[in-house]
Amino acid sequence: MNSHELNSVARGKVEAELLQRGAVSVISRGTRKICLLAGNAERNRTVVLQVKAKSKRKGNWHTRTDEAKITVTPPTEENVRDFWVFVDFDSAPRYWIVPDWWIRNEIHEKHQQYLNKHGGHRPVNDDSNHHSIDENQLESWLNKWEILGIF
């Protein structure tokens, strides 16, 4: 299964999980960068979910350094509407639900640490924008479905 197929399966699993937990509507949006929109029963809150999938053979999740964004002051919980859901298909699916602002800040911080460790440059290709996200970075976000505020 290639990464596009894996992400498609992951979006389906996340959609099923959202509906099982009580979301009333879940729809896909986008063509190149597909997101899920999920809403609550009162129809007064909708969240946007970017789904990232990995399998045991893949090891880590992959993204780009241009996804990084410094967050000086985190937004209040009720103002957070964008999230990333990381899915691991190692055995039974596992989910990490992470606020968009947090993961973008994390990407920035980890990438800066990496560059600092290598004298301010990538050791092989300075033009690369690849960024890897390790499961340990997301530990505190495992199964945090409640932060979506739609159940």
Domain extent at residue 143: 3-148
Q: pLDDT tens for the chain, 151 residues: list them.
A: 788 888 899 999 999 999 999 999 999 998 778 899 999 999 999 999 999 999 766 689 999 999 999 999 999 988 999 999 999 987 789 999 999 999 999 999 999 888 888 988 888 888 888 999 999 999 999 999 999 999 9
Helix (H, G, I), strand (E, B) or coil at 129: coil
Helix (H, G, I), strand (E, B) or coil at 5: helix
How many CB atoms are located within 10 Å of the residue 67 CB? 17
- Provide the b/e sequence for 133-146 (b: ≥16 CB within 10 Å): bebebbeebeebbe
Which of 140, 45, 55 lies closest to 99 in space, CA to CA?
140
Residue with tokens 């739609």: 150
Amino acid at 38: A
> Looking at the whole model, is its pTM more than 0.75?
yes
8-state DSSP, 142? B
Element (H, E) at 12: helix 3-21
Output the domain CATH number for residue 79: 3.40.1350
Report the pLDDT value the prediction gives residue 57, as an integer from 0 to 100: 65
Domain count of the fold of the chain: 1
Element (H, E) at 115: helix 100-117
How many CB atoms are located within 10 Å of the residue 28 CB? 14
Report the pLDDT value the prediction gives residue 59, as an integer from 0 to 100: 83
